[in-house]
Amino acid sequence: MDDALPEVRYTRSGDVEIAYQVLGSGDIDLVLVMGWLTNLETYWEELNYRRFMQRLAGFTRLILFDKRGMGLSDRTTIGTLEERMDDARAVMDAVGSERAVLMGISEGAPMSLLFAASHPERTAALIFCGGEVKEIKTDDWPLGLSTLEEYEEEMESILSGERQWGRPTRITYAPSREHDPAIIEWFGRMQRSAASPAAAVAFMRLGSRIDVRHVVPSIRVPTLVLHAPGDPMVPFAQGKWLAEQIPGARFVELHGQDHVPWFDLADEVIAEIRDFLTGFREPTEPEQVLATVLFTDVVDSTDRAREMGDRQWRDLLEKHHATVRDALVRFRGREIDTAGDGFFASFDGPARGIRCAQAIIDALERLGLQARSGLHTGECEVVGDKLAGIAVHTGARVAALAGSGEVLVSQTVRDLVAGSGIEFEDRGLHELKGFDEPRRLFAVRSSAT
C-alpha cells in the first residue's frame, strides 16, 4: 500500500469542522476513535502507526478523524462526550457509512460506548484496546489510575512548564519504545501539532470527569476487548471489568505492556481484530437502546382550564403543543407520546435533552404557562416506535418531583454531561415511587440554555 498521506477531508458537525481520512475499500467500515492527542498528518509520519493503519485498511474501509479541539479539526471547543459522539456520526454520514465497527483506544472507549448504546442500529460491533471506563480512582472505583489530587498535580506540571510540552524525554504510553530517540522526537511534534498545553489539559480534565460505568451494561453489539497486562495508562483490571459487564464480550489478554496497539502489540492485535471482524454474526434488530427520556407537563393545569373555560384552554393547549414540538425539532428530540398537557420525548444525548427542557419552560412561560420537567438516561426497551422499561418509569418519577419552572434530572444525567457547562443544584436523595433505593436528584440552573 502507498505510504503517501491519505487525503484529509472535512465535514461539518454542528458549528465545528471535523477533519477525517478514509483508507481501504473493505466491506466492513471501521471507525477508529483515538484517545488524547491526535493530528492526522503528524500521526502519519510515524512508521509503526502508518503500517498498523495500512494493515487494518487491508481488510476494512478504515475511517480516521481528529476530535474537535485537536489536530486538524476546529480547535474552538474541546466538546463534550455527547458532542464528540455527534462528530463520529457526522463523519460516518460524510463517507456514506450507514453502519460501522467502532474501535475505541484509551479515552476513545467512552465515546464509542455511548455511541453504541445510543445508536445500536448504526453500530456493527465494538473493539477496545486499552479502553478506559473511568479514569479517576474513587472509593467506589478502585480500578482507576490515580486519585483526583494526583491527577491535578500532573495537570499543573504541564501548565507550569515543568513537563516542557513538546519536548518529552520518554514515551510513557509505550514502554516498548519509551527511550527510542526517534519516537521521542516524533511525539514532541505530535504534542505541538495536536494542542497547546492549556488545550491539552482542558481535554484531559474533561476526560477525568467521564464515568460510563452505567452505560456499559446497555451494550448489545458484538464486542472485542483487548488489553495488555502492563498497560501503564489504563489498568488491566479496567479492561477485564469492561468485558465482564458487556453481554457476550470477548476478552483477549495481550502479551505486552504498551497502551497503544501499533508497536510491539501490532501483530497480535491485527490478528485478533481480523478474526473477530470476519467471524462475528450479524446482530438482530435492537431491543434495547440507551436514551435520555424527557417528561414535561403544565403546573396546575386543571385550575387554569377551569379559570379559562374549555375554548380558551383548548386554544392555549394547541399553542403549548406547537411550542413543545418546535423545541423538540430544534434540539433533535423525538416525540414518543403526549397526553393532555404532558409530553414524553427521547434524545440520544442528555445535554440536548436538558437544553430542550429549559427552552420549553422558558417558551411556555411567555405563553403564561408554568411548566416542569424531568430527565433520566438509561436503557430503554424498544417496542415498535415507542420506548418502555425501568428507565422510562424513572424519568416520569423524576418529573413528578420537579417544581414549577424546574428541570430536574437524575445523577446519571448529571454525570454524562460533564464538561457541557450546564450547572446543577443538588436536591438530595428522594424516594421514587416503585423503587427500593432512593435516588439523588439535581436541578438544572436556569443558565443551561
CATH (domain of 155): 3.40.50.1820
CATH number at residue 347: 3.30.70.1230
Exposure b/e, 137-164, CB count within 10 A at least 16 = b = beeeeebbbeeeeebeeebeebeeeebe
Q: Is residue 397 part of a domain?
A: yes
Q: What is the model's pLDDT at position 328?
A: 94
> Hey, what's the cell of 375?
430527565
Confidence band for 275, pLDDT divided at 50, 70 and 90: very high
Same domain, 112 and 211: yes
| Cell numbers placing 53 | 493503519
Residues 153, 253 within the same domain: yes
On whether both 268 and 333 belong to a single domain, the answer is: no
More confident residue, 226 or 3: 226
Whether residue 89 is contained in a domain is answered as yes
Report the phi/psi class of residue 294: left, alpha or beta, with left for phi > 0 and alpha for psi in -120 to 50.
beta
Last residue of some domain: 261, 279, 297?
279
Asked if residue 194 and residue 100 are part of one domain, the reply reads: yes
**Same domain for 231 and 307:** no
Q: 195 and 301, same structural domain?
A: no
327 and 258 co-located in one domain? no
Judgement on whether residues 141 and 198 belong to the same structural domain of the protein: yes
Domain-ending residue, one of 246, 279, 312: 279
| Residue 29 lies inside a defined structural domain of this protein | yes
Average pLDDT, whole number, for the chain?
Answer: 91
298 touches 80 (CB < 8 A): no
Where is the domain boundary, 238, 259, 279? Answer: 279
Report pLDDT digits (tens) over 285-316.
557 889 999 999 998 888 888 888 888 888 89
pTM assigned to the model: 0.79
Are both 401 and 304 inside the same structural domain?
A: yes
Instruction: Give the best-scoring range by mean pLDDT among 75-89, 276-290, 359-373.
Output: 359-373
251 within some domain: yes
Range of the domain at 294: 288-448
Strand partners, 290: 379
Q: Looking at the domain assignment, is residue 2 inside a domain?
A: no
Q: Of 13-27, 262-276, 295-309, 328-342, which gets the smallest average pLDDT?
A: 295-309
> Are 302 and 431 in the same domain?
yes
Task: Give the total number of structural domains in the chain.
Answer: 2
Predicted confidence (pLDDT) at residue 433 exceeds the cutoff of 90: no
- Residue in 380, 385, 369 with CA at minimum distance from that of residue 324: 369
Backbone phi, then psi, for 99, in 5-degree steps?
A: -150, 135
For residues 388 and 440, state if they share a domain: yes
Q: Classify residue 38: in a domain, yes or no.
A: yes
274 with 315, same domain?
no
Q: Is the pLDDT of residue 190 over 70?
A: yes
Cα distance between residue 389 and residue 371, in whole Å = 25
Of 33-42, 87-96, 206-215, 347-356, where does mean pLDDT reach its minimum?
A: 206-215
**Arithmetic mean of pLDDT, 248-265:** 95
Any domain includes 3? no
Domain membership flag for residue 4 = no
